[in-house]
Amino acid sequence: MNRDHINNQLTLGVDTHLTSHVAVLINNIGQVVDTQEFPVCFVGYEKLYNWAKSFGNIKQAGLEGTGTYGAGLCKFLEDKGLKVFEVNRPNRAKRRLRGKSDPTDAENAARSVLANESTAIPKSHDGIVEALRYLVVARKSAVKARTQAINQIRALLVTAPEQIREACYVQSTCQCIAACKRLQGADDDVLLNTMAAMLNLLADRWLSLTEELRLIGKRLTELTKSTARHLLEQFGVGPYVAATLMVTAGDNPARLHKESSFAALCGVNPLEASSGKTQRHRLNRGGSRDANNALWTVALIRMRSDPRTRIYTAKRSAEGKSVKEIQRCLKRYIARELYPIMVSDLSVLT
């Protein structure tokens, strides 16, 4: 190990994984000081920190996956007073040129922080917003599973025997589920027995998921009323939309310096696509798609029911804008409108 860099300001880069983290130290002129691998546990975090400090003063750190595998290490380093930045994966062009390995990824993380390319402050993941994230994740999977259950029921009913199809294949989902629950097989018919048993099972699954969603919705409403009271007062914003937007912002909203940062997180900021004499913007397909969908929901509700938005929609339609283009404009305006309200609600919690 080269100890000539002890007096230097060092930058730490970490490539995070489920069971081990690979760390790289570089000095102020970009030279690699050392590389080590550490286990993912508190003892491993201590070893990593002591190893890094043994080479000198750690100026800053860049971590991949601060919201997943690197969450524990991120909090540990922040508790030690170290400035930690969130690092995105290297772009594919760089990976094709340099190859892919854990030490290379860790080195790229350190270099991106040293070059001020990665300046994003990680979410804290330690407050009520993190509790909202748990509910949002559970709700999303429950909605998807319930939709799959009713789709599977209808797919089975399409090819079911005539008497079962006539009894159960109705337009109302609740009536379809109730009919499937009442089904009974015939003692001497394997096909009918199996069909009835599977429809009973899928109906029970749908009912169970519906009850899960009711409980999640109740808890979500309680939490958002206590944490996002002013946000919920805005036209078109319900508990799920409010929770999704707050989860996107995080428990520490100070990391978002202005409303354009929040718009970028939601993927509603138009991107420059100008060339030569052509001046235009293109759709942003980045950011949180859940937050983007939440803003789309608000825009859709306002286009249908809010007088102010209906006037705006009519005006832009007369200018030749399509419905999708109007929705994109509305999402950007809604993000600008909701950001200070959301930050105000979140600042009360911190």
pLDDT score recorded for residue 5: 43
Task: Tell me the C-alpha distance between 61 and 122, whole Å.
Answer: 11
| Helix, strand, coil share (%) of the chain residues, nearest 5 | 60, 10, 30
pLDDT classification of 6: cutoffs 50, 70, 90: very low
Q: Are 255 and 121 in contact (CB under 8 A)?
A: yes
Question: What is the tens place of the pLDDT at every residue in 23-33?
Answer: 999 998 889 99
For 239-262, what is each residue's pLDDT tens digit? 999 999 999 988 887 778 788 889
In 10 A of CB 91, how many CB atoms?
9
Q: Would you say residue 222 has pLDDT above 80? A: yes
The stretch 71-83 carries a mean pLDDT of: 91
pLDDT at 29: 87
Q: Is residue 104 helix, strand or coil? A: helix
pLDDT of residue 1: 47
In this predicted model, which residue has the larger pLDDT, 102 or 38? Answer: 38
* CA 267/CA 285 separation, integer angstroms: 6
pLDDT of 287 reads 85
Q: Contact 291/240 with Cβ under 8 angstroms? A: no
Q: Give residue for tokens 């939440």.
A: 294
Instruction: Tell me how far the alpha carbon of residue 38 is from its chain's centroid.
Output: 28
Return d(Cα 165, Cα 129) in angstroms, integer: 46
C-alpha to C-alpha distances, 76 to 35, 40, 66, 160, 235, nearest whole angstrom: 20, 12, 11, 58, 40
pLDDT per residue over 280-309, tens digit each?
Answer: 767 788 888 999 999 999 999 999 999 999
Mean pLDDT score, 14-41: 92
pLDDT (tens digit per residue) in 166-221: 889 999 999 999 999 998 877 678 888 888 999 999 999 999 999 999 999 999 99
Contacts of 17 by beta carbon, 8 Å cutoff, 6+ apart:
40, 69, 102
Q: Tell how far CA 330 is from the center of its chain.
A: 21
Q: β-strand 20-26 against 32-39: which pairing, if any?
A: antiparallel
Strand order in the sheet with 57-64: 32-39, 20-26, 9-16, 57-64, 84-87
Q: What is the dihedral of CA 266, 269, 275, 277, to 10 degrees?
A: 160
Are residues 269 and 334 in contact, defined by beta-carbon separation less than 8 angstroms?
A: no
As to burial, measured by CB atoms within 10 angstroms (0-12 exposed, 13-18 middle, 19+ buried), residue 99 is exposed
pTM of the full predicted structure?
A: 0.81
Closest by CA to 168, choosing from 206, 210, 196, is 196
Mean pLDDT of the chain: 88
| Distance in angstroms (rounded) separating the CA atoms of residues 25 and 11 | 6
Residue type, 77: L
Res 121: pLDDT: 83
- Distance, in Å, from the CA atom of 16 to the CA atom of 23, rounded to the nearest integer, reads 9
Please indicate whether residue 212 or residue 163 has the higher confidence score (pLDDT).
212
**pLDDT the model gives residue 230:** 94
Scan for tokens 């309200």, then name that residue: 341
Report how far residue 79's alpha carbon sits from residue 55's, in angstroms, rounded to the nearest whole number. Answer: 20
Residue 98's pLDDT band, with cuts at 50, 70 and 90, is low
pLDDT by residue (tens digit) across 321-330?
Answer: 899 989 999 9
